[in-house]
Structure 1
């Protein structure tokens, strides 16, 4: 069998694993490398230049050392900032994620809720998306850093407080009929978000669209028997590492390996 392509999935935390799951479901045979820059988590609170420098160095060095064929920037914050410069530096395809405003507008009858990080909600890029694709449907935006942490906690086996979820999402209650999960962490707590908003609200994310784009770029039409490499790297020792590794093993990954940034970015 010919050598399978190698994909790098990059995020500041474990949210990109939701994107990995969608791509892996379509293409289980290829090699997956996951790199998360938890030393600088969460990216929404970083200065733009610092974020660009960190992502560029981590991704360009990793793609060179591991002979990567395609990069997925599985972070909304990083995608809106770093894609142009990263694509200029790399000769391989780089796929980013954007909030699924366009498909949500096709589904909504009442209004759209965009649930994202505060940084994504504030970003001009997001407002441009809404202006261009919301088709005059009202868009209620809710920026929640806490949901990112809840997703990280859930992956490590901690229970999610249903009442806290209801309180966090209360500003959208009974106002919308479609909600966009505008952060790759949020599909990890999709069931809890659904329960808090009610079953009348349809949840939309970008995962399947990213998987289709990756499949197109790699020109792979069919699944092949066998499962490729599954390796995961972090820029700092993860918190509750044992619990995280247990969750990662279920997803088919080896234990987290340390890959610190070579220089200190201030």
Structure 2
């Protein structure tokens, strides 16, 4: 039987964006082993209709929790958590889920101009969860929502060392910069964990300096508060592993995972009790 001290922390994302959160979580939880799961078979989540994607995520976690028995799960994906967080907690009430939501509250606390932009996926932008955050924490600010169709893909390519067209990146981020009554946007919330990989490029292309707000550290701090401290490292000789739901194992992906100290391990998901939901169910 697996004891509490032996249980890993599972970090979940649609692709490699959650590595930004994993990096911070390791700093705060050095005694823990980590399992990183990228649902790249369904990437990008922004292309999916809500109900098929929610069903896929909840079903996928039925497999992941049974196989890995984690101490806690970090959902390092705004789209996944704002869409399926409540359903996951209802389906698996005994599991600790640490979510990722747009960092609208800290942005509202820090802004001086009162003009904030939330740069996210189209799904996160249109979700009621995001509107509720704005109403609760930023009602005195002018919050501009920008739903990027292609930025997550560009970030995936960039972090793998592929050439990225700066003009394409600029086209995605240009709407973030607003001027109103002599004031300018001074904070851009990076509401997708992929986006911080492009932060240096964002700074280079920006028409004026802004604070690009990366939520990774705050997510890791919340996880540390909820995950029990252990006196000794869990499975000190066992590596942290990365699992890609597509079974992908190309050279650039393996090299990237090695750079983050992760060992790729194959797992089969289709036909393992998951709902029969695939990208064929995408609806616009």
TM-score, scaled to structure 1: 0.90
Offset of residue 117 of structure 1: 0.7
1:180 matched to 2:180? The reply is no
Name the residue aligned to 1:155. 159
Q: Are residues 101 and 220 of structure 1, via their aligned partners in 2, closer, same or farther at CA, if it must alter by over 3 Å?
A: same
Q: Which residue does 2:181 correspond to in 1? A: none
Give CA deviations for 1:175-221 in whole Å, capped at 9, x if unaligned: 41011001111112111122222562011122111111111111339
CA distance in 1, matches of 2:265, 2:143: 39
Q: Distance in 2 between matches of 1:218 and 1:173?
A: 38
1:39-50 pair list within 5 angstroms: 39-50=41-52
Identify the residue that residue 244 of structure 2 maps to in structure 1: 234
Provide the rounded CA distance (Å) in 1 between the counterparts of 2:33 and 2:12: 14
Instruction: Give the total of aligned pairs.
Output: 264
CA distance in 2: counterparts of 1:140 and 1:222, whole angstroms: 45
**In the TM superposition, what whole-angstrom CA distance separates every residue of 1:20-59 from its partner, at most 9, and x where no partner exists?**
1111122233111111221211112222221222111221
Instruction: Find the aligned partners of 1:250 and 1:199 in 2 and give their Cα distance.
Output: 33
Residues 247, 267 of structure 2: 8 Å contact kept: yes
1:127-146 mapped onto 2 (5 Å cutoff): 127-146=131-150
Match of 1:125 in 2: 129
Structure 1, unaligned runs of 5 or more: none
Give the Cα–Cα distance (whole angstroms) in 2 for the partners of residues 159 and 168 of structure 1: 16
Q: Structure 2 unaligned runs (5+)?
A: 179-183
SS of the equivalent of 1:15 reads coil
Change in 2 beyond 3 A, CA 1:168/1:257:
same
What is the distance in 2 between the residues matched to 1:16 and 1:223? 25
Say if 2:219 is the partner of 1:216. no
Q: Does 1:17 align with 2:26?
A: no
Deviation of the 1:256 alpha carbon: 4.9
TM-score by length of 2: 0.85
Q: How far, CA to CA, are the matches of 1:76 and 1:97 in structure 2?
A: 5
CA contact (8 A) 1:31 1:230 kept: yes
